[in-house]
Chain A
Amino acid sequence: MSIKEIFTSMDYGKAPESTDLAEQWYAGRDNKLLHFIGGEWQQPASGGFFDTSNPARGEVLARVADGDKEDTNRAVAAAAAAAPGWAALSGHQRARYLYAIARRVQRHSRLFAVLESLDNGKPIRESRDIDIPLVARHFYYHAGWAQVMESELPGYEPLGVVGQIIPWNFPLLMASWKVAPALAMGNTVVLKPAEFTSSTAVLLAQICEEVGLPRGVFNLLLGDGKAGAALVDHADVKKIAFTGSTEVGRILRKATAGTGKKLTLELGGKSPFIVYEDADLDSAVEGLVDAIWFNQGQVCCAGSRLLVQESVAETLLEKIKARMAKLVIGDSLDKGVDIGAVVDPVQLQTITNMVRLGEEEGGRVWQPECDLPEDGCFYPPTLLTDVQPSSTLAQEEIFGPVLVSMTFRTPSEAVALANNSRYGLAASIWTENINLALDVAPKLKAGSVWINCTNVFDAAAGFGGYRESGFGREGGKEGLYEYTRAAWEAGLHDQPLYPLVDQPGTDSDSDTVASIDRTAKLYIGGKQVRPDGGYSLVAHDALGSAVAEYPRGARKDIRDAVEAARKAEGWTKTTAHNRAQVLYFIAENLAARSEEFVRRIMQLSGKREADATVELELCISRIFTYAAMADKYDSAVHATPFRNVTLAMKEALGVIGIVAPEEAGFLGLISTVMPAIAMGNRVVVVPSQQYALLATDFYQVLDTSDLPDGTVNIVTGIQQELTIELAKHYDIEGLWYWGSAEGSKLVETEAAATMKRTWVNYGRYHDWEDSLQGEGEVFLRKATEIKNIWIPYGE
């Protein structure tokens, strides 16, 4: 085209990014990508390689080592050998390595960007302007945490060897999200990138080598799912961090169940993008471009579900279509391209099939007239209207440049539609009304809520999901706890600490006799109810004599208790001050009945009066502690690098099932239930069997303490039976279990279906009288989850 013709047409023309240096880099490695294990580039044990190619052009870029179990064993062994030395370095020494990595990433930023776009197919603009700068930012930010770990996270220590498995959609970015905090906290790493996209991970390993990172601290294990599976199964791996599909996440939850491996899962999503009628609609349209046409829609937190208020729906859809017509689809290495290639032909076929299904189910498909390259894996930007919540495409993740849209009438209907999903990763809210925005944000089940913006990320803010989008947070201070453990955990005991040592005195106790006639019941929804099954169990005193009967709760009682807890939303919504008042009132009422409770403790535990009194006093003190913390376990504002408030809001999980420690008497019940309700959770507790009568006595205290109905529900019975019901229940957000190793495994296995947050003891027992093991910040953290709400401001 001549200059004159261009002057008339005003076309952009091509603007290809040079790939020369990237090609030289591949050539310098003989077009073979090898494992980096123990500081050395290693051939695969099997000798096998597979191809990695550029999805936009279909060219093979390199051959990738096909890792297997043997390679995995080598990598884990190298990491394990390096772990003590790395953990023993000072924070400052670790910080210097991370800082050096950050600097090098910046210095080689263009090579990283080109490799990423070549390998993954994403537009060079995105890898250059978004992915790679964020990678450097993550290493800088976490270099800082390494520096100050000792003072900022006192009492926390590294886990050891961490296995990290990352996806192909943001290869290097996901690597940095995982590697930087792990190394900062003193762990050593085995990173397994996705088989489609290993290139930038190899360059990262090269940089680790260049900065002189001690051998074995960072190990790169290449290969496909079999290498990943071997990593997950390896006994010396203390933690698995995974980003990927919910399907695989569930497999990992089951595979690691009961092993004591820490697990974070960052999984799929179907994130809502809510546009209210008073929004800046043109800006909302641009938000959608960032939401669903970013990285070809292959983004776990893509705003793929548009919810628009009916009054502006037609207008907004028209604007969206006009904007879609401007999107440029083409070679990822062209600087003027908005949408590159999807990652591979399989993914292309999946997207195609999903859209066809959407059409069959009544959705109206709209695609702009646009030029698609003839070769390569390209899919046009697509809008489906007339999609209903019942449509498959409103529920299932597509992982492509496909937006589905629905309408709503009122703010609350928008919230209901937004939360009508198995996922809970992210959400975007568009309104110019701050009252509305800040009302809606906390109500959305999403780990990240973006107000008048979307898909913004930073190392200083946690990222992660609710529900089947997984658990754990990456980024921010909250993300550090995923790579550390409280030092006191090492001091947990292999056997229960509270065997019944003291035999009770020989005095006949008239109160004990009197209590036989009292009918203990379940406590559900603030009412004392008989068990659905109509069976009872016999409670024994410390001598083994029957002293009373208590209900044998079962499946349906758990159902009723969870329903009651679900309804008791008011407790979660009320102010922290009010919750504190109620907890103090509970303590007050308990103190008023201390004589009765001391006797009951003596009766069931065989403790002497003095010891029983100590236990009760400790219980009262512990209630005070959590009453105190109710309004002091504050949220934070993260310092993210643009003009906004990033609110790291601590939220109650919702409904938590608690299986109280069998051996730990009244103290065990109080120590577990109180932090949960202090943070605003509603609880279904299965008390200790031996101490069931203390729980049933306790509901009378609860009844007189202004605790709203359904906040605490007590279902006595056989712990193992009830634990399974809790673990399988879909409407419970968290499950805490203190019992055997087998029970812990069972809980984690059964919880995989719902991805509920579990906290189990793996058969390691707390000293509940100990101020570290029995109470404190960890309990509060487990009772909450952090939602990051991004609020840009400026008029």
Chain B
Amino acid sequence: MTNVLNLRQPGQTPDHGMDRNPGMEFTPELFNGLRINRSAVERRAATIAKRRSVKKDHQTAWLLKVITCMDLTTLAGDDTPGKVKRLCRKALQPVRKDILEGLGVADMDIHTGAVCVYHNLIETAVKELEGSGISVAAVSTGFPAGQISLPLKLSQVRASVEAGATEIDIVISRAKVLTGDWKGLYDEVKAYREACGDAHIKTILATGELATLTNVARASWVCMMAGADFIKTSTGKESVNATLPFSLVMVRAIREYHRLTGYKVGYKPAGGISKAKDAIAYLVLIKEELGNDWLNPQLFRFGASSLLGDVERQLEHRLTGSYSAQYRHPMG
């Protein structure tokens, strides 16, 4: 059995810092031998957050980090420019000023990492966020199911980039994973990457539809080989979205890819993360498995719509000592 890890000499790969992952040749032997043990992964996932505790000022700082790593998202059929404008203002001012002042962090320029919308709303978002440093991300390639033709997918990507999105969240063809067409998946993602140009590409695996953790690991490898800047769990529309076990498998793939190539690929769990406590657990997981280098918006994002509300309440609680209420925080 070939093990992926034997193809390199330990400790000899130079680190490429924050350079974009250029991808590599399709090399199936890097992932063919991978086997993920679900029970063991679940056991690690169940204990990882219990092994670490983040309290008081540390909790405050970590929650602020959560906000800066957030792709504040709206992906609904009834999204309108008005709704997206509101969301963008929230991304710019995610926490009430008086809370930030009270915590002594008003000068930290806390804002979310990006706003994530459908193609039609890119323009609105770009306009609202101009000069803010907040990226506009667009979902693409027949999101969420991806059941349209490749040329259509590619034209979607190009159109979104043209409309001003600097991050493109593509969905992979789950069918290619389920039928073992890894080369087909590689070619597809590579084509998306080319179509993205300078825009960063996040590849959504839709982990909840890939059947096994081993498939999740292999799909992660194929996407990274094809030049993904981020690998992302879910569209938020699958019945199972981001989980710690999926995340563990994906970040371990990222770690190995980095050791092998020296390139750091980012990670984005999306869907179902709505509590501040859960978000902290994800940061712990990233810190333990990947290290501090990944704890910034360049390499880590939450895809979330309701998480911010809970983080706000927790921050107010940090300030006042009283548990907060939702109505005290402005809507996004």
Q: What separation, in Å, do the CA atoms of A279 and B39 have in the docked complex?
A: 13
Q: Which residue of B lies closest to A14 (CB)?
A: B55
B107-125 interface with A by 8 A CB criterion: 108
Give, as a whole number of angstroms, the nearest-CB distance from B79 to chain A. 32
Give, as a whole number of angstroms, the nearest-CB distance from B1 to chain A. 5
Chain B 1-43 near chain A by CB (<8 Å), digits 1 or 0: 1010110001100000000000000000000010111111111
- Judge whether A311 and B37 touch: CB under 8 Å: no
Q: What separation, in Å, do the CA atoms of A277 and B1 have in the docked complex?
A: 7
Name the B residues within 8 Å of A432 (CB-CB): 35, 37
- Judge whether A10 and B43 touch: CB under 8 Å: no
| Stretch from A233-241, A282-290, A677-685 contacting the other chain | A282-290
Check A10/B62 contact, CB under 8 A, given A3-B105, A278-B1, A792-B40.
yes
| Stretch from B138-146, B175-183, B287-295 contacting the other chain | B287-295
- Judge whether B44 and A13 touch: CB under 8 Å: no
Main secondary structure of the interface of B (DSSP, over half): helix
Q: Which of A12, A14, A311, A643 contacts B6 (CB 8 A)?
A: A311
Q: What separation, in Å, do the CA atoms of A794 and B42 have in the docked complex?
A: 10
Q: What separation, in Å, do the CA atoms of A7 and B62 have in the docked complex?
A: 6
Q: What separation, in Å, do the CA atoms of A314 and B58 have in the docked complex?
A: 37
- Judge whether B58 and A12 touch: CB under 8 Å: yes
Give, as a whole number of angstroms, the nearest-CB distance from B103 to chain A. 6
Q: Which residue of A lies closest to B291 (CB)?
A: A326
Name the A residues within 8 Å of B288 (CB-CB): 326
Name the B residues within 8 Å of A614 (CB-CB): none
- Judge whether B104 and A2 touch: CB under 8 Å: yes
Chain B 52-94 near chain A by CB (<8 Å), digits 1 or 0: 1111111011101100000000000000000000000000000
Q: Which of B35, B54, B65, B104 contacts A278 (CB 8 A)?
A: B35
Q: What separation, in Å, do the CA atoms of A405 and B248 have in the docked complex?
A: 26
Q: Which of B40, B55, B57 contacts A452 (CB 8 A)?
A: B40
Name the B residues within 8 Å of A284 (CB-CB): 40
Give, as a whole number of angstroms, the nearest-CB distance from A548 to chain B. 64
- Judge whether B1 and A453 touch: CB under 8 Å: no
Contact of B252 with A by CB under 8 A: yes
Name the B residues within 8 Å of A10 (CB-CB): 61-62, 65, 283, 287, 292, 295
Give, as a whole number of angstroms, the nearest-CB distance from A6 to chain B. 4
- Judge whether B54 and A277 touch: CB under 8 Å: no
Give, as a whole number of angstroms, the nearest-CB distance from B121 to chain A. 31
- Judge whether A795 and B56 touch: CB under 8 Å: no
Name the B residues within 8 Å of A338 (CB-CB): 51
Contact of A777 with B by CB under 8 A: no
Give, as a whole number of angstroms, the nearest-CB distance from B37 to chain A. 4
Chain B 132-172 near chain A by CB (<8 Å), digits 1 or 0: 00000000000000000000000000000000000000000
A431-486 interface with B by 8 A CB criterion: 432, 452-453
Q: Which residue of B lies closest to A287 (CB)?
A: B40
Check A335/B53 contact, CB under 8 A, given A3-B103, A326-B288, A792-B39.
yes
Name the A residues within 8 Å of B40 (CB-CB): 280, 283-284, 286-287, 452-453, 792
Q: Which of B38, B104, B292 contacts A795 (CB 8 A)?
A: B38
Check A281/B3 contact, CB under 8 A, given A6-B58, A10-B295.
yes
Name the A residues within 8 Å of B11 (CB-CB): 318
Q: What separation, in Å, do the CA atoms of A312 and B212 have in the docked complex?
A: 24
Name the A residues within 8 Å of B108 (CB-CB): 4, 7
Give, as a whole number of angstroms, the nearest-CB distance from B198 to chain A. 28
Q: Which of A3, A13, A283, A328 contacts B55 (CB 8 A)?
A: A13
What are the 5 closest A-B residue pairs judged by CB atoms, nearest first?
A: A15-B53, A792-B39, A283-B40, A6-B61, A13-B58
Q: Enumerate 29 A-B pairs (CB-CB under 8 Å) in ascending A order.
A: A2-B57, A3-B57, A4-B105, A6-B60, A7-B61, A7-B65, A10-B292, A13-B55, A13-B56, A13-B57, A13-B58, A15-B53, A15-B54, A129-B47, A278-B3, A280-B35, A283-B37, A283-B40, A284-B40, A286-B40, A286-B44, A315-B10, A318-B10, A335-B53, A336-B51, A338-B51, A432-B37, A792-B40, A795-B212
Please give the residue numbers on chain B whose beta carbons come within 8 Å of chain A beta carbons, in ascending order. Answer: 1, 3, 5-6, 10-11, 33, 35-44, 47, 50-58, 60-62, 64-65, 103-105, 108, 212-214, 252, 283, 287-288, 292, 295
Q: A280-B40, A280-B41 are in contact. List 6 more A-B contacts (CB 8 A).
A: A3-B103, A7-B65, A10-B292, A12-B53, A335-B52, A336-B52
